[in-house]
């Protein structure tokens, strides 16, 4: 009997060691790839180029401007550029809270796993670089577009609100964002041959580094999940639902600002019915880009599904229903 217990303990210890090794390898792999694909904003991405305003920025698969029959080709292009500008600004916005959270979770590895720590430090460093890239982009795009565009949400205010939620919920949201970033590039941006080349390259280089971030988000999210009691996880699900509602609030605010800007930049009047259609379509496109395409990502559902109960899954689905439909 004593022997059987010892054997079980040995087996469990071996399994723990194997699990630790698998995890260590995943962090190490992220460091390797991060070193190999490391890029520079000027030398690799911008390369002295400017944006071609004769081309679209955001592909139709994301902007859905092809569904707006009331717009001319030129107006659709303008709307794709406005949405593309906001797309870069939204990344700049979320990367503010992402860096803060990644630095916070990296403290959990400070006196332990130095490989995990290095992977997360590189992750934060890359997100700081991405913010700089998107700030540069905003300036370059502003020079080629009519005045009046405004990006309404404040990154620090949003970060403060997000960081008040539980780490589990913040990592869930982050994992969702980084997974949809990869999907957007592969499914919509890369295959579209009509886009501004510089715009396309920005998201190619962004995609390369985000691939490691999505893996690290998952590792840290799963690690945090293991620290929670059932009651804490239930609260974290509530937090995630509140975060999704907050994202929807940001999208409503920005889509309104972007339609106002579009209407003034267009230089012609639309019927009240057309304006209503444009407003509804823009909000629906933003919801698709920043919420729906993310929560439908199979990998996101797989990870989330392993952590929550069917009841918690139903709560999330119910909160998402008005946004998805
Ligand atoms: Fe990024
Ligand atoms: Fe990222």
Q: For the segment 96-109, what is each residue's pLDDT rounded down to a tens digit?
A: 999 999 999 999 99
Average the pLDDT over 280-301 and give the result.
Answer: 98
pLDDT confidence tier of residue 18, bands split at 50, 70 and 90: confident
CA of 133 to the centre of ligand 2 (A): 13
Cα 76 to ligand 1 centroid, rounded to whole Å: 27
Report the 10 Å Cβ neighbour count for 150: 9
Q: Residue 77's closest CA among 283, 262, 273?
A: 262
Ligand nearest to the CA of 205: 1
In this structure, the number of other CB atoms found within 10 A of the CB of residue 74 comes to 10
CA of 324 to the centre of ligand 1 (A): 25
Q: What is the pLDDT of residues 194-215, one digit of tens each?
A: 999 999 999 999 999 999 999 9
Q: Compute the distance from residue 181 Cα to the ligand 1 centre, in Å.
A: 9
Q: Which ligand is located closest to the Cα atom of residue 212?
A: 2
CB count within 10 Å of CB 316 equals 18
Q: What percent of the chain has pLDDT over 70?
A: 98
Distance 265 CA to ligand 1 centre (A): 29
Ligand positioned closest to the Cα atom of 34? 2
- The C-alpha atoms of residue 85 and residue 122 are separated, in whole angstroms, by 26
Ligand nearest to the CA of 134: 1
210 alpha carbon – ligand 1 mean position (Å): 6
Tokens of 66: 């092809």
State the pLDDT confidence band at 13, using cuts at 50, 70 and 90: confident
- Nearest to 189, CA basis, from 179, 202, 176, 177: 202
Backbone angles phi and psi of 195, in degrees to 5: -85, 160
Distance 200 CA to ligand 1 centre (A): 15
> Residue 92 has what pLDDT?
98
pLDDT at 2 (0 to 100): 57
The bound ligand whose nearest atom lies closest to the alpha carbon of 217 is 2
Report d(CA 10, CA 4) in Å as an integer: 10
CA of 303 to the centre of ligand 2 (A): 18
Confidence of residue 20 (pLDDT cuts 50, 70, 90): confident
pLDDT at 34 over 80: yes
**Stretch 81-105: mean pLDDT, rounded?**
98
Quick check: 6 pLDDT over 70? no
Measured in angstroms, how far is the CA atom of residue 126 from the centroid of ligand 1? 7
pLDDT surpasses 90 at 7: no
What's the mean per-residue pLDDT of the chain? 95
Task: Report the pLDDT averaged over residues 267-291.
Answer: 97
């Amino acid at each position: 009997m004593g022997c059987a217990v010892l054997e079980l303990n040995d087996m469990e210890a071996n399994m723990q060691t194997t699990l630790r090794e698998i995890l260590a390898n995943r962090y190490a792999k992220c460091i390797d790839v991060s070193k190999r694909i490391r890029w520079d904003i000027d030398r690799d991405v911008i390369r002295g180029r400017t944006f071609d305003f004769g081309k679209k920025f955001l592909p139709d698969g994301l902007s859905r401007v092809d569904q707006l029959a009331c717009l001319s080709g030129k107006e659709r292009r303008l709307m794709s550029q406005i949405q593309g500008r906001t797309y870069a600004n939204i990344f700049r916005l979320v990367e503010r809270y992402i860096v803060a959270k990644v630095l916070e979770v990296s403290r959990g590895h400070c006196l332990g796993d130095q490989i995990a720590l290095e992977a997360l430090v590189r992750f934060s460093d890359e997100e700081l670089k991405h913010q700089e890239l998107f700030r540069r982009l905003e300036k370059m795009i502003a020079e080629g577009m009519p005045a009046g565009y405004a990006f309404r949400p404040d990154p620090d205010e949003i970060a403060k609100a997000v960081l008040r939620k539980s780490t589990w919920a913040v990592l869930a949201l982050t994992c969702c964002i980084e997974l949809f970033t990869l999907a957007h590039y592969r499914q919509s941006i890369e295959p579209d041959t009509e886009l501004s080349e510089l715009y396309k390259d920005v998201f190619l280089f962004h995609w390369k580094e985000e691939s490691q971030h999505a893996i690290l988000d998952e590792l840290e999210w799963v690690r945090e999940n293991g620290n929670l009691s059932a009651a804490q996880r239930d609260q974290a699900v509530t937090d995630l639902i509140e975060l999704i509602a907050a994202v929807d609030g940001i999208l409503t605010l920005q889509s309104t600002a972007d339609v106002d800007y579009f209407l003034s930049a267009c230089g012609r009047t639309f019927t009240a019915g057309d304006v209503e259609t444009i407003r509804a379509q823009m909000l629906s496109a933003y919801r698709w880009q920043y919420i729906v395409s993310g929560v439908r990502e199979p990998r996101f559902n797989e990870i989330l599904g392993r952590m929550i109960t069917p009841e918690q899954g139903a709560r999330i689905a119910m909160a998402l229903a008005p946004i998805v439909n």
